[in-house]
Amino acid sequence: MTTMTKTILAAVLLLAGAATAAHGVEASLSITLGTDASADIQKRTVNYECGDGAPISADYINASPNFLALLNVPEETEKLVFASTVSASGVRYVSGKWAWWTQGPEASLYDTTLGEDAAAVSTCSEASDAP
């Protein structure tokens, strides 16, 4: 197993561990993503302030050709794993009924079951790091 694969695997296991620890259940999840040996793997955490008052924290794992986002969607009990999809602008991630669309420091959460033209259920901006 390469160092890059271990890094991605560790990030996903951290997510699984946090979710199961909260419920007192022992379980694990591992996802192995193959990457080119020269690929640069990055993990970045971004906190968002949202118009509806519920903050959203996103962990982005970029390991070309795989781009994932782990989000705490306010209506869900556990963090969800989102995968990137083709987008005309910005980056669009999807997980089940949810779509998370980022463009620069702005992001929007959509419930895709409400229809293609439905408004975002939450609009967010990156939180400032100022104390």
Helix or strand holding residue 102 (H, E): strand 98-103
Distance CA 96, CA 119 (A): 18
The pTM for the full model equals: 0.74
So where are the chain's domains? Answer: 34-126
What does the pLDDT read at residue 37? Answer: 67
pLDDT tens digits along 37-62: 666 789 999 999 999 888 999 999 98
For residues 45 and 57, the answer to whether their CB atoms sit within 8 Å is yes
Distance CA 98, CA 118 (A): 12
34-126 classified as CATH 3.90.1150.10: no
pLDDT tens digits along 11-40: 444 444 444 455 567 777 777 766 666 667
In DSSP terms, 111 is beta-bridged to 98
Is the preceding peptide bond at 131 cis, omega within 30 degrees of 0?
no
For residues 81 and 67, the answer to whether their CB atoms sit within 8 Å is no
Kindly report each contact of residues 93-99 with a partner whose C-beta sits within 8 Å and lies 24 or more positions away, as own/partner: 93/67, 93/68, 93/69, 95/71, 98/71, 98/73
